[in-house]
Every structure is written in structure tokens, then in C-alpha cells.
């Protein structure tokens, strides 16, 4: 298992260090893991004047999976767009053809009070949102703002080919198979032809997965149901724009951004694994960042790229154990809990592991 490790900026190096400690522990238990570090984002701009240098491109192409911290920081905001750290993210996703974004929203019972919703609505929540990442209205042509009849008009194109829909549908059905075998596909077929095709192709693909129960939901209803009764969902699949919005909504149900991992996969389940949060420059270098989203991203890597379910569960159970022992970083801290820093949280996970 060749893993490229890109710590990035801000809290990136701190949280990645804890993720690497977990991988190193698994390696000493016998998993054949090779780690190699590289630069992405602001740190790459500083040293190579490019947020995604050629050497990093080579490293990630040769690796089986990538573990990423986060990129960005206020010191880079004034740079030309091509030099900004976030361009590194877009380019690495493109270079690796990562079309499937998997974002779980899990609320551990111990953290039920962190959500803004009533504990009985969200406690034990465990949803996976599968978002198509490289198509849809975000990339569709033609697009632009132009002058028509003496006024400015803005326009974009919502477009999906059946090949694009089918490949993300397969990822979603296979993901459902690794969970509770329930898949809800989200579209807006009552208004948009593009999403009528989405519904047709997802329905056709379902024939290959008779063991998975497929349902469909319109996106406006899905947004409402996520707040009303989120536990009705297991896996949801949707296009790039709807997925952008729904995955943020779902992650906020949990109230704790420092807890949420994510995976972006290509056709062969090679993937980039990273916490859902950013580089948090406001808390960088202070040993207060929560490393659990990164550690849980390592678990996703073992499950989705390497098919090491047992090792993935071991990590996830260790995180649960640490939470049940009431260890908390500042972002998830509450009365009666034990406040720990980034490193101490890593220590606790390793001990549980």
C-alpha cells in the first residue's frame, strides 16, 4: 500500500502527524504500508512557486492512495488565482480523475449535544453522501455572463452523460453494499431533463444490484427530510451541485466539523482521503485542532482503496472508545469532559488501537 502523504498548510501538519502515527502502528502490526511525503497548497507555493508541483504530481500518480491534511491560509489570498493553494486541490482532483466524493455524516451518541438538532433526532446518525465531483453545472459549457438586449445575462449548463451517471451510480450501489443496502438517489426530475436522465440511468443500474433497495427523492424534499428525520437515510447519491449543498447540510447535522472524514475516488477506487474541514489558520500551531477527522479518513482509505475492512473498523472503534472515555478536543468539549490537545488525542487513539 503506497500512500502519498500531503500535510498542506495551517493545522494540516499537526493533524496529519496523528494520522501517520495510526498508519505506522498498523504497519508495525503487519500491514504492508509505505509512506512518502510531498507538498501541496501554500507550502508548495512557498517552496516551488506552484500549489501542485510536478514532483507532487508524480508522487500521487505513483501512489495507491493519498492522505491529505488541508490547504490554504490568509497569507495566500492575494496571490493570482493560479498560484492559490485551492488550485492545488482542484488540480490534484483532476489529475487523479477523482469523480466520486464520499462524505459520511456520523454523529457518535457521545456527541449528540454538539448538534443544533434535538439529540433524539440525530443521536446515532450515520449517513453517507455520494456526490459526483467532476461534471454537472459546475463544469458544463456554454457558460458565461454576456450582454443581451441591453442587459447582462448570466448562464450555465447542467449536463450529464449516461456514462458519467452510471459510473457514480455504481460507486453508490457498491457503497450501499458495504453498509445497510439502502440507496436514495436525489434529483429534480420534475423540472430538469438532465436529472430525468439521472433518474432513468440510476434505475437501470439498480438491475445489477438486486440486494440494494433503491428509492428516489426530489432535492427540495431531500433537504427538508435531512433536517426532519435524517436517520431514514443510509446512502444518498446525487450530482455535483445538489451534492455540494446536501453534503454540507448533512455534515452540519453533526455539529462537529473536526470529526468528519471524506474520500474522493477514481474508477479503480484509488482515492484521496482528507478531513472535511479546512486548514483552520486561526488555531494552527496551538495543539488544539481535532485530529479525529484525519484519523477517520485513514479508516476510509483502508476500507475503500485497500479493502482492509478489519483495520478500518479497528480505527473507528478506537475513536469510539476514546470518545466514550470522555476525551475531547476544544471543538467538541463539554462540561464534565477531559480537555485534550491534538497530540494527546492521538496518544489516546493509539492506546485504544
**Active site residues per annotation:** 138, 188, 220, 244, 248
| Alpha-helix residue ranges (DSSP H) falling in 145-230 | 162-177, 193-206, 219-228
Q: Decide if residue 264 touches ligand NAD (CB under 6 A).
A: no
Q: Decide if residue 283 touches ligand NAD (CB under 6 A).
A: yes
Angstrom distance (rounded) from CA 315 to CA 321: 10
Angstrom distance (rounded) from CA 26 to CA 32: 9
From residue 95, give the alpha-carbon distance in Å to each of 118, 202, 273.
42, 27, 15
Q: Decide if residue 255 touches ligand NAD (CB under 6 A).
A: no
b/e sequence 82-112, b meaning 16+ C-beta within 10 Å: ebbbebbbebbbeebebbbbbbbbbbbebbb
Q: Decide if residue 38 touches ligand NAD (CB under 6 A).
A: no
Binds ligand NAD (CB under 6 A): choice among 233, 278, 306, 312: 278
Binds ligand NAD (CB under 6 A): choice among 70, 127, 263, 302: 70
Q: Decide if residue 66 touches ligand NAD (CB under 6 A).
A: no
Q: How far is the CB of 290 from ligand NAD (least distance, A)?
A: 4
| Alpha-helix residue ranges (DSSP H) falling in the chain | 12-28, 42-48, 54-62, 85-95, 119-122, 162-177, 193-206, 219-228, 240-253, 292-304, 309-324, 342-352
Cis amide prior to 142 (ω within 30 degrees): yes
User: 341, 301, 296, 340: which is closest to 107 by C-alpha?
Assistant: 296
The distance of Cα 79 from the centroid of its chain, to the nearest Å, equals 26
Q: Decide if residue 39 touches ligand NAD (CB under 6 A).
A: no
Nearer to ligand NAD, 63 or 68 (CB): 68
CB atoms within 10 A of CB 183: 28
Binds ligand NAD (CB under 6 A): choice among 36, 46, 204, 282: 282
Stretch that binds ligand NAD, among 187-195, 201-209, 239-247, 270-278 (CB under 6 A): 270-278
Q: At what angle do helices 309-324 and 12-28 cross, to 10 degrees?
A: 120
Q: Decide if residue 271 touches ligand NAD (CB under 6 A).
A: no
Show the cell assigned to 163.
Answer: 456514462
Q: How far is the CB of 225 from ligand NAD (least distance, A)?
A: 26
Angstrom distance (rounded) from CA 102 to CA 100: 6
116-175 binders of ligand NAD (CB under 6 A) = none
Q: How far is the CB of 306 from ligand NAD (least distance, A)?
A: 22
Binds ligand NAD (CB under 6 A): choice among 4, 71, 102, 201: 71
Residues 318-337, mask of contacts with ligand NAD (x by CB under 6 A): -------------x------
Binds ligand NAD (CB under 6 A): choice among 171, 289, 301, 315: 289
Residues 76-105, mask of contacts with ligand NAD (x by CB under 6 A): ----------x--x----------------
Q: Which residues bind ligand NAD (CB under 6 A)?
A: 11, 15, 70-73, 86, 89, 257-258, 274, 277-283, 289-290, 293, 331
Amino acid at each position: 500500500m503506497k500512500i502519498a502523504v500531503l500535510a498542506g498548510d495551517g493545522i494540516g501538519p499537526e493533524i496529519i502527524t496523528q494520522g501517520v502515527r495510526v498508519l505506522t502502528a498498523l504497519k508495525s502490526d503487519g500491514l504492508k504500508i509505505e509512506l512518502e511525503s510531498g507538498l501541496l497548497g501554500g507550502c508548495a507555493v512557498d517552496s516551488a512557486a506552484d500549489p501542485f508541483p510536478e514532483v507532487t504530481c508524480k508522487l500521487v500518480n505513483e501512489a495507491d492512495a493519498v492522505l491529505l491534511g488541508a490547504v490554504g491560509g490568509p497569507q495566500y489570498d492575494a496571490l493570482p488565482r493560479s498560484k492559490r493553494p485551492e488550485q492545488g486541490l482542484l488540480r490534484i482532483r483532476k489529475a487523479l480523475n477523482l469523480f466520486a466524493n464520499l462524505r459520511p455524516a456520523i454523529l457518535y451518541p457521545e456527541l449528540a449535544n454538539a448538534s443544533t438538532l434535538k439529540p433524539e433526532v440525530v443521536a446515532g446518525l450515520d449517513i453517507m453522501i455520494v456526490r459526483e465531483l467532476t461534471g454537472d453545472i459546475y463544469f458544463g459549457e456554454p457558460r458565461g455572463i454576456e450582454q443581451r438586449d441591453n442587459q447582462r445575462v448570466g448562464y450555465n449548463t447542467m449536463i450529464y452523460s449516461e456514462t458519467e451517471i452510471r459510473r457514480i451510480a455504481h460507486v453508490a450501489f457498491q457503497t450501499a453494499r458495504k453498509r445497510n443496502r439502502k440507496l436514495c438517489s436525489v434529483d429534480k426530475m420534475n423540472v430538469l431533463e438532465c436529472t430525468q436522465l439521472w433518474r432513468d440511468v440510476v434505475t437501470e443500474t439498480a438491475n445489477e444490484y438486486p440486494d440494494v433497495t433503491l428509492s428516489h427523492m426530489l432535492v427540495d424534499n431531500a433537504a427538508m427530510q435531512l433536517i426532519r428525520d435524517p436517520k431514514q437515510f443510509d446512502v444518498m447519491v446525487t450530482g455535483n451541485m445538489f451534492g455540494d449543498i446536501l453534503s454540507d447540510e448533512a455534515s452540519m447535522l453533526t455539529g462537529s466539523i473536526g470529526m468528519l472524514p471524506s474520500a474522493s475516488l477514481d474508477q479503480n477506487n484509488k482515492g484521496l482521503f482528507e478531513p472535511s474541514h479546512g486548514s483552520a489558520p486561526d488555531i494552527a500551531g496551538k495543539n488544539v485542532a481535532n485530529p479525529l477527522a484525519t484519523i477517520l479518513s485513514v479508516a476510509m482509505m483502508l476500507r475503500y482503496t485497500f479493502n482492509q475492512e478489519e483495520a478500518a473498523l479497528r480505527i473507528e472503534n478506537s475513536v469510539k472508545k476514546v470518545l466514550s472515555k470522555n476525551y475531547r478536543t476544544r471543538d467538541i468539549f463539554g462540561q464534565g469532559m477531559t480537555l485534550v490537545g491534538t497530540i494527546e488525542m492521538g496518544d489516546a487513539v493509539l492506546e485504544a488501537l
